[in-house]
Amino acid sequence: MAAATSKAILQLHHNHHHHPATATKNGLSISSIHAYQNSPFETHPSLKPSNKGIKLAESLSNLLHLHIERNLNHHPSNVPRIEDKHDTPTMSPKEDISKKWQEIHGSNDWNNLLDPLHPWLRREIVKYGDFAQATYDAFDFDSFSEYCGSCRYNQRKLFGKLGLTGSGYKVTKYLYAMSKIDLPKWLERSRFADTWSKDSNWIGFVAVSDDQETRRIGRRDIVVAWRGTVAPSEWYDNMQRKLEPIGQGEARVEHGFLSMYTSKSESTRYNKSSASEKVMREVKKLVNYYKGRGEEVSLTITGHSLGGALALLNAYEAAKNFPGLPISVISFAAPRVGNIAFRDELYQMGVKTLRLTINQDVVPRMPGIVFNESLQRFDDITGTLEWIYTHVGVELKLDIRSSPYLKKGMNLMGIHMLETYLHLVDGFLDSTTTFRSDARRDVVLVNKDCNMLVDELRIPHNWYQLENKGLERNFHRRWVKPTRDPEDIPSPTVESYSNVLEPTNIMLHLESRKELQQNC
């Protein structure tokens, strides 16, 4: 009897693994077939045990059912199975938005597009968010690396290495910022002296839409993506909390942000020109070139955290230099940058800003936690309030409680991460609805650099890293730190700038060669 019972249980286990399961609303459950119906008892009556044996087999099989269901198919009812999305695309389809691009770009301040969130706008927000995320994914944070503070790949390889070849954009310029002039500790680089640059960090890039993407979005789009920091606690210690003038009027901006954007030094290699000068020179070149071809051109600037602050400074300067050029800022988790006069000047120049914030994120509340735009109501008493901070533009508020995939505790780092923002905006429908069931973005990305996904999903936290943390085996099978390919070493040569744009853009290529020779 014991042998027959064991056979019945083994057969049940075989059936579980080799026959379809019964689908239910909340996931998968094992089909409720009695053990003895699929056991050797029915096929071989001579082996049929006594009633007690059958009852024992049924009892044990029920326990096996329960064990398998709990350990293999268990899922909280409020947490959807991410396995069900494994065979689905990770991005929404690219729609032709050429007839509506001005509205998507903010011409009407995104009226009637945010709540509910228009699917075309959602797709574009995620696109620009991916560009901002690329500035983190390709950045060499490794303090043991002689290239710490640089981009791991040259600009021709960047999108290919990060899986963004389908974005429809090509990188045309890398941007660098000073790292030792009124800048926070997070920008400190290698603990070793012989690093690639003692003074500069890779801070972002300029890209432009290719012909196919240009037709889809209705204009030639120039993108500037700025990298930021990720630790909210650093904002308290590192921000100067001091406003200083920008422009000729009453506009004031935070000292540390402006310093990073405008600092330069003749003694450096990568910042003989400031980030400001580099980005404006590249944007001017692209605007003049494509307008010279009779094309409609837009400028979209994106960034996360500190990168969102740099994006606003970039937009302010671009609006001063290119009157009439459609300029939009898509920022994520951006802090306040300047005072009310700075905000008003941006409005007057036509800059459109869409700020994405998470209710539980502390960074968008800084600086000016006390002295902020809320005091504007007392303007008749306090005056023009040149000394307080204010946000700029339209806000799209997100909330971690809307997603069944996210932990609900106050994980300041995880809440602030850009991938958390992209997850939430991809699932956002409107302010009264929970997370959309057909969200496309891969949920696993949330845990790339944090621990925000609920434990039931069993996704490792902080999983994104170089294989073996960058170590490789050499010819003698010894583990060594590899040397970069010559074209990926952050000491650009003239050859590395070739083929950046389409072959027809000879003029742009020649200008890049000339500028590179001057800078080096």
Instruction: Please tell me which residue, 422 or 88, carries the higher pLDDT value.
Output: 422
Instruction: Please tell me which residue, 48 or 242, carries the higher pLDDT value.
Output: 242
Active site (annotated) includes residue 416:
yes
Instruction: Give the domains, in start order, of the chain with CATH numbers.
Output: 2-74 (no CATH), 99-139+167-440 (3.40.50.1820)
Q: Is residue 398 pLDDT above 80, yes or no?
A: yes
Average pLDDT over residues 175-181: 77
Closest to 332 measured CA to CA, from 442, 414, 464, 422: 422
Per-residue model confidence as pLDDT tens digits over 420-457: 999 999 999 999 988 998 888 999 999 999 999 999 99
pLDDT band at 481 (very low <50, low <70, confident <90, very high): confident
Predicted local distance difference test score (pLDDT) of residue 248: 86
Return d(Cα 9, Cα 136) in angstroms, integer. 52
* Strands (E) located in 458-519: 472-473, 479-480
Q: Is residue 320 pLDDT above 90, yes or no?
A: yes
Average pLDDT over residues 355-363: 94
- Write down the catalytic residue from 65, 304, 416, 509: 416
Predicted local distance difference test score (pLDDT) of residue 326: 98
CB atoms within 10 A of CB 478: 9
Predicted local distance difference test score (pLDDT) of residue 52: 56
Predicted local distance difference test score (pLDDT) of residue 182: 47
Return d(Cα 7, Cα 298) in angstroms, integer. 71
Choice among 142-156, 176-190, 495-509 with the minimum mean pLDDT? 495-509
Please enumerate in sequence order all residues whose Cβ is within 8 A of that of 100, keeping only pairs 6 or more positions apart, or say none: 120, 218
Predicted local distance difference test score (pLDDT) of residue 277: 96
Return d(Cα 367, Cα 359) in angstroms, integer. 16
Predicted local distance difference test score (pLDDT) of residue 388: 82
- Write down the catalytic residue from 130, 140, 199, 361: 361
pLDDT band at 345 (very low <50, low <70, confident <90, very high): very high
| Residue 260, token pair as written in the block | 């990073």
Predicted local distance difference test score (pLDDT) of residue 50: 54
When computed from its CA atoms, the radius of gyration of the chain, rounded to whole angstroms, is 28
Residue 438 phi, psi dihedral angles, 5° rounding = -100, 25
Predicted local distance difference test score (pLDDT) of residue 103: 97
Per-residue model confidence as pLDDT tens digits over 189-237: 555 545 667 778 899 999 999 999 999 999 999 999 999 875 554 454 4
Predicted local distance difference test score (pLDDT) of residue 469: 82
Q: What b/e sequence results for 184-204 when a residue is b if at least 16 CB atoms lie within 10 Å of its CB, and e otherwise? A: beebebbeeeebbbebbbbbb
Predicted local distance difference test score (pLDDT) of residue 157: 92
Q: Is residue 336 pLDDT above 70, yes or no?
A: yes
| Residue 90, token pair as written in the block | 């990770």
Token match 């806000």: residue?
Answer: 395
Active site (annotated) includes residue 361:
yes
pTM of the model: 0.77
- Write down the catalytic residue from 61, 167, 274, 305: 305
Average pLDDT over residues 103-127: 97
Predicted local distance difference test score (pLDDT) of residue 88: 74
Active site (annotated) includes residue 237:
no
